[in-house]
């Protein structure tokens, strides 16, 4: 019996159908070490791009690079999901584009929404959660059972609907839902953010399981980049939600 159950992840990049109809481009296969290396390289590219916009952005210069990064990254994410063989090309570019957007978003939180030092705290917490959950997964403290996956998948899908509803609401009203507002320090709003951070964190466990299955099935080499892409998507989501949560907590103290 396959220990990696059929329901994969709430992460749309890592679905149960990803391993179907893979294109083998050579004799080399996906390895765990290769996936870790690709993930590390992607994060380095993201940090370099984020550092650039962090240093150069100001309200007077506008936020065009942020929109380029957001929408360009979204297009490349779709291209990667529908054409995994493109991952060795699309994923590094995706990392750069998302880095451009994250640098500006982080600077805005640091200077205007949150408080100085919020970005460093969010980065530290993001990678601390990554390390803790990787340890919990490898030591079997957390086991991605079918019910576990079903719960995370359902919760992630529900949150996605909330994001969509908030986006549509903002188009017509110019405001986001109260629980999505990073300056809303109410207990309900903070509780919502804690829930989102928890779900984003647990998606990492499913991402680890996905990558492990790819290695065991002997997936083609380009899937190392695809696995790195899936982790990158979850880490970016987790980082942004931690930023939002820290900002809410700070607004409550003020």
Rounded to the nearest 10 degrees, how much is the dihedral formed by the CA atoms of 211, 161, 238, 205? -30
Q: Is residue 14 part of a domain?
A: no
Q: Is the pTM of this model over 0.85?
A: yes
Q: Over 80: is that where the pLDDT of 13 sits?
A: no
Q: What is the mean pLDDT of the chain?
A: 89
Flag whether 9 is in a domain. no
The DSSP code for 109 is I
> Are the C-beta atoms of residues 254 and 113 closer than 8 Å to each other?
no
Sequence-separated (6 or more) residues with CB below 8 Å from residue 61? none
Contacts of 186 (CB under 8 A, 6+ apart): 178
114, exposed or middle or buried, with CB in 10 Å at 0-12, 13-18, 19+? buried
- pLDDT tens for 82-107 read 999 999 999 999 999 999 999 999 99
Instruction: Please state the domain count of the chain.
Output: 1
**Model pLDDT for residues 218-236, shown as the tens digit of each residue:** 899 999 999 999 999 999 9
Task: Identify the residue whose tokens are 């696995």.
Answer: 227
Asked if residue 187 is part of any domain, the answer here is yes
Is 18 domain-assigned? Answer: no
Query: Among residues 88, 90, 22, which one has the least CA distance to residue 222?
Result: 88
222 lies in a domain? yes
Cα separation of 45 and 39, whole Å? 10
Interval 45-54: pLDDT, tens? 999 999 999 9
Q: What is the extent of the structural domain holding 150?
A: 32-253
Per-residue pLDDT at 37 exceeds 60:
yes
Question: Backbone phi, then psi, for 2, in 5-degree steps?
Answer: -70, 125
Give the pLDDT confidence score for residue 20 in this predicted structure.
59
Residue 159 confidence (pLDDT)? 94
Residue 20 lies in a domain: no
Residue 141 domain flag? yes
Q: Are 87 and 34 in contact (CB under 8 A)?
A: no
Quote the CA–CA distance of 217 and 228 in Å, as a whole number: 17
Return phi, psi of residue 115, to 5°.
-165, 155
Question: How far apart are the C-alpha atoms of 222 and 23, rounded to whole Å?
Answer: 9
In this prediction, residues 70-74 reach a mean pLDDT of 95
* pLDDT at residue number 7: 43
Q: Does residue 1 form part of some domain?
A: no
Is the predicted pLDDT of residue 69 greater than 90, yes or no? yes
């Amino acid at each position: 019996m396959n220990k990696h159950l059929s329901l994969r992840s709430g992460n749309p990049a890592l679905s149960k159908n990803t391993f179907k109809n893979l294109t083998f481009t050579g004799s080399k296969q996906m390895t765990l070490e290769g996936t870790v290396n690709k993930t590390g390289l992607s994060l380095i590219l993201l940090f370099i791009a984020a550092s650039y916009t962090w240093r150069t952005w100001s309200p007077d210069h506008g936020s065009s690079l942020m929109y380029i990064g957001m929408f360009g990254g979204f297009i490349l994410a779709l291209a990667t999901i529908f054409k995994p063989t493109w991952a060795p090309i699309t994923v590094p570019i995706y990392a750069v584009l998302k880095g451009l957007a994250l640098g500006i978003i982080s600077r805005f939180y640091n200077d205007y929404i949150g408080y100085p030092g919020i970005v460093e705290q969010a980065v530290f917490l993001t990678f601390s959660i990554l390390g803790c959950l990787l340890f919990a997964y490898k030591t079997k403290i957390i086991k991605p059972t079918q019910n576990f996956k079903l719960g995370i998948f359902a919760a992630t899908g529900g949150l996605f609907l909330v994001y969509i509803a908030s986006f549509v609401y903002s188009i017509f009203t110019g405001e986001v839902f109260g629980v999505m507002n990073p300056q809303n320090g109410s207990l309900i709003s903070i509780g919502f953010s804690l829930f989102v951070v928890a779900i984003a964190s647990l998606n990492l466990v499913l991402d680890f399981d996905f990558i492990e299955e790819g290695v065991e099935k002997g997936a083609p080499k380009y899937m190392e980049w695809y696995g790195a892409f899936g982790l990158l998507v979850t880490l970016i989501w987790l980082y942004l939600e931690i930023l939002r949560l820290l900002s809410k907590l700070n607004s409550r103290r003020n």
